[in-house]
Chains A and B, each alone.
Chain A
């Protein structure tokens, strides 16, 4: 008995110790971040984060990879913009990836990453992301974290309601924000109304290799199609798009596109349209758009110009498209994990409008129409409305879900995230954002199975949140813990470019598929040199092709002679390493292009056009080994009229 008494005393003592510590902690933190918030985002050295976050780079055109909860940046994957660090768009292999019907376009505005799904759950195979400016959809393969396919979207302009995938990645969908003449033609801008069209493009994704192909384009009335999301569960087979500028104005849009009290959410029954086109429906329209594919085995991209696209007039497919009236200029269009609720984030509305999929089907069944627009039935607002979140904040933009019956909406003007309950529409909590939040992301938050532990808010303005860096300050995201009833701000972290949207996934789903090296025996590059025996230099007129290898810590050959001023010299360099994390880089004085950064087993090519006579060094640009500094070579450039034969060597005195 005595022992037990002692034990109780000790426990009580320990309890008091903890209590007093807590009180002290509260006093000193004074309502700011508590030390427990720091612990929640702390990932110890050598440990891994729990989630990957793929954050769009906005006007950087790229996609950056972060860990959550730490907010650490791992990689910036080049997608639509040239990247000298990785030779993306600079080396001969990847230049074709940035080809379009407008020629080589070295930049874009990347917006909405979305991870591939199987049965409505994230499967971690691919990330898709849209280029907004010169409409394109890119696919990033998550076994290599590299962009492996880019398809241009014809008849589109401001590719914004993109790139969201259906429940089994049947389609990645790309909607146009700006309506344009379809096909493009010379016509007065004033004749916009009734003449411009908004193309909603359904790009099929091959189940085995992820190959993309435009299945059909739905040519909708000339509104602005702002954002979209797929139905899931019961509503699988439908896709929902928010619209604004149903006024069809073409100038001073901030006023003229904000006149209607209600715009629409367009509900598209894509299964019905798929059936229609599979049975020969639709009109093949002459077109011109690029389809660029990077092959992992040839380490080379090819660009193919496609010459036609299948278009569908929505009025020709009865029951395929309906308009759901939604106040006012709705921005985000978000579907809850069950597929029942479709949230229209009416950015100029005081309330948040939620439609019911069940009620929508009933309204269609009972023909509860409130007129039509260009032959597309408009459903009666009250008959599709599930509920309204009343006066939750100012300027609602986007909503995500935690899978526990809660929704989280960002409010741009009042700069906050608001948590509310699906079904009762009551506001549960609100937390400020610093400042003016745009999108938010819960890993898996737009799937059947969200990982409802964190929400990432992506802000449009940071002002004084970080050390100032002149007029241009960092972009920023903020992480909140949403595992409790109240949200808790854990972390601010800077981002690359404007973080429009992000897609998050449990790291375990992705990381075991991540490749360590490229196998040399699988290297099918046209100019690969997979053994030292094949090293050579060949001349073909003014073209010189160097078949070069690199391995710790030398190039082979490292002495080259017989090159002349005016030659076009191709360095085809193969990294013979087969060890994890041993890339080598290479460049030569005066190269009018970027370095190459070559992964083990990979071949890349850069072009050098020597303009001056001399002996010019080249060297390894990525610190590779203890003898990295010695990894260098010389190339002799002789006058154009010299008759020195090509020769090459390694280790010869």
Chain B
């Protein structure tokens, strides 16, 4: 390797241990703030495509709300789904209170760690966020499953699988799936990317902190 800015010898010319520490701290600070994007941008989006819907039906999932992708989409999804006995998408669910509180609390913890704690705590925060996100996703899956399988016994149309069991209409947790005449897509949105990026950055902050610690 030629000597230059990229080489370790040059690196030390420009950075000191203190600067490294500061860098990790700033990253942790940014990482803790990024999940707040969830208050502005949606977490997830479910889209339903069918020939009769040249503009697909879509629903954004925010941490505190369900929202139409285009005006009246949720009303029209409900209208479609009542034929197979699915419940209406509720106006509010308990998660709309729990998720925002969770994000605010973990952000405060993250900021405290950035200000006060050492780099090991960056990893703990990363793990905490990972566990909570996994729990959130599992909760989302449970809701979707209930939504797709807890059908009105007086449903207008009843469908069965080839094995004779009642057909469910659970949208995919992640990815795309054909459900009767619809193709359902389920993908994370900007808010989720903010969360993931924040977690990623906190982990990078941890790595820098760790490396710095070794050099020390």
Contacts and interface: CB of A to CB of B under 8 A. Distances in A.
Partners in one complex: yes
Interface of A: 517, 551-552, 577-580, 626-627
Contact of A578 (B76, B83, B156): B76
Contacts, number: 18
Most central of B55, B72, B83 by chain A CB within 10 Å: B72
Interface in B53-89: 55, 71-72, 75-76, 79, 83
Contacts of B76: 578-579
A575 to B, nearest CB: 13
Contact of A627 (B55, B72, B83): B83
A579 B83 contact: no
Contacts of A517: 72
Contact of B72 (A552, A578, A626): A578
18 contacts: A517-B72, A551-B79, A552-B79, A577-B79, A578-B71, A578-B72, A578-B75, A578-B76, A579-B72, A579-B75, A579-B76, A579-B79, A580-B55, A626-B83, A626-B156, A626-B157, A627-B83, A627-B156
Interface string B77-120: 00100010000000000000000000000000000000000000
Nearest to B157: A626
The 8 closest A-B pairs by CB, nearest first: A578-B72, A579-B76, A552-B79, A578-B75, A627-B156, A626-B83, A579-B72, A551-B79
A632 B156 CA distance: 16
A131 to B, nearest CB: 37
A577 B71 CA distance: 12
The size bracket of the interface on B is under 10
Interface in B153-197: 156-157
Contacts of A552: 79
Most central of A552, A578, A579, A627 by chain B CB within 10 Å: A579
A442 to B, nearest CB: 32
A65 to B, nearest CB: 20
Contacts of B55: 580
A517 B206 CA distance: 54
A551 B79 CA distance: 9
A517 B83 CA distance: 23
A517 B73 CA distance: 13
A52 B79 CA distance: 34
B78 to A, nearest CB: 10
A567 B55 CA distance: 46
A303 B55 CA distance: 39
A550 B75 CA distance: 14
Given A578-B72, A578-B76, A580-B55, 5 more contacts: A517-B72, A552-B79, A578-B71, A579-B79, A627-B156
Contacts of B156: 626-627
A552 B82 CA distance: 10
A377 B83 CA distance: 76
A580 B53 CA distance: 9
A579 B156 CA distance: 21
A552 B55 CA distance: 20
A627 B84 CA distance: 12
B158 to A, nearest CB: 13
Contacts of A578: 71-72, 75-76
Most central of B76, B79, B83, B157 by chain A CB within 10 Å: B79
